[in-house]
Chains A and B, each alone.
Chain A
Amino acid sequence: MHSERHEELVSLAALGLPLEDDAAEYARLLEEGCPSCEALLPELRLAASSLAATVPPRRPPASLRDELLASLSPAKRPSAASRPSASAAWVFAAAAAVLFVMIALDDARLRRQREELRAHNSDLAAAVESSRSEIARRDLRARVLESDDVRVLFLGGKGPQPNARAKVFWSERVRRGFLVAGNLAPLPADRQYQLWVFVDGKPVDTGVFDPDPSGRALFESKELAANRTAQNFAVTIEPRGGLPQPSGPIVLAGTPSG
């Protein structure tokens, strides 16, 4: 709420005249903040302007109007401004063409970026999947090796690959194992090595694998059904994807160690 002194200062300011000795106090008032004074100022300006309504009007001489209108810049006349010139139209057309090309180029650039991002995303997804698979394989190997009942079985080369060698690490509790092999011969593209586990004298499929170019392989078996004990292991050469029962030559075979 403002005081009479505040009203007085605002009244003097509303008249738009020098405040003289009151200037410093008015400045402090504004600086310290007086919302009601700030609201009062425009209202008192409105009140002061009512004085203008009391003076008699006077019609200016016609020459004043003519001089005023003649002094306006011809370039800013509406007739000039409202009709674009032919050159201006060409400028607009050229600008539009340039804009269109820029948009088209930008669109092509964005399409390329999108395809690159898609490919990159696909690569990343594959890398993630590969990593997950590798982690799962390492986890399986760790579980087998850390199992109390882990067994190591040695497989010797047979038939066409007498120099082949392998070890199978197997856990009945985990019901899975993994094979580490070396000196395996490369196979035709339509062939794969298949690992068999013998249960009750019968071969059971535990998966197919491919050696690396140096003839080595590290392969984790499928899970064996419950209550079935692995007695022996063998590796045969089978059509790619494997078969339910062995049909090809045996290249590795062994006897459980214990």
Chain B
Amino acid sequence: MKPRGQPEDRDRSDRTLVAEIQGRDSDALALLYDRHAPRLLGVADRILGKTGEAEEVVQEVFLYAWRAASSFDPFRGSVLAWLIVATRSRALDRLRARRPATSAQPGGPDALARVAARDDVEAGSASREWEAICRAAIGGLPDDQQRALELAYFDGLTHSEIAERTRAPLGTVKTRIRLGLMKLREHLRPYWGKTNA
């Protein structure tokens, strides 16, 4: 195993590392971990709280990357986005397991949507530029839209649960989610492909 942070490591892109992981290169996995584990742990912390569970999730995600590196599709987003989706999905699964059973049924389009969200690659970036753009976009949303999106994304609440939590009508919550995501899309769209998104 190489020591951390050798100069040539900076030249190896995330996608190169994933390709090397497919070739069972554990050094590549270690380097990918060093780059992104803090960001992924931040997401897991946000969903699960700063607990041992969040750290377990990060460990699970990198084991998933080791076992299923071939599932990464470079045409659908960045490596970090792929890892963030895996982190959020696993963290939300643990969060739901803590709660009483909900009315969600296994299977059906909602379940398919969850599977898709787990396996697909969303945008995201470790770059400070991208983070600043995202913060600006989210900060530009009305508070109620921002709150609705955060409850859905980080707390895994359904729209009816959000309505209950925020004491807002169900239709209003759906509208807030729709408007919030559409505004984020419009704000971020010019940067897709230009940053590490």
Would you call B178 and A7 a contact (CB within 8 A)?
yes
Q: A17-B158, A58-B45, A60-B55 are in contact. Are A50 and B124 (CB under 8 A)?
A: yes
Q: Within 8 Å of chain B (Cβ to Cβ): is A174?
A: no
Q: A7-B178, A46-B188, A46-B197 are in contact. Are A17 and B157 (CB under 8 A)?
A: yes
Please indicate the chain A residues that have their CB under 8 angstroms from the CB of B89 in the complex. 16
Smallest CB separation, B74 vs chain A (Å): 14
Q: Within 8 Å of chain B (Cβ to Cβ): is A14?
A: yes
Smallest CB separation, B54 vs chain A (Å): 8
Among A14, A56, A61, A81: residue with most chain B CB under 10 A? A14
Would you call A17 and B63 a contact (CB within 8 A)?
no
Smallest CB separation, A57 vs chain B (Å): 4
A49–B80 alpha-carbon span in the complex (Å) = 11
* Interface footprint category on A: 35 or more
Closest chain A residue to B154 by CB distance? A51
Q: List 24 A-B contacts (CB under 8 A).
A: A7-B178, A15-B152, A17-B113, A18-B102, A20-B158, A22-B159, A43-B189, A45-B120, A46-B81, A47-B123, A48-B153, A49-B122, A50-B124, A50-B134, A53-B130, A54-B134, A56-B42, A58-B50, A60-B38, A60-B58, A64-B37, A64-B58, A72-B66, A78-B26
Please report A residues at the B interface, Cβ cutoff 8 Å. Answer: 4, 7-8, 11-24, 26-27, 30, 42-61, 64-65, 67-69, 71-72, 76-78, 81
Please report B residues at the A interface, Cβ cutoff 8 Å. Answer: 1, 23-27, 29-30, 33-34, 37-39, 41-43, 45-46, 50, 55, 58-59, 62-63, 66, 76-77, 81, 84-85, 88-89, 92, 102-105, 108-111, 113-114, 116-118, 120, 122-125, 130-131, 133-135, 137-138, 149-150, 152-154, 156-160, 174-175, 177-178, 181-182, 184-185, 188-189, 192, 197
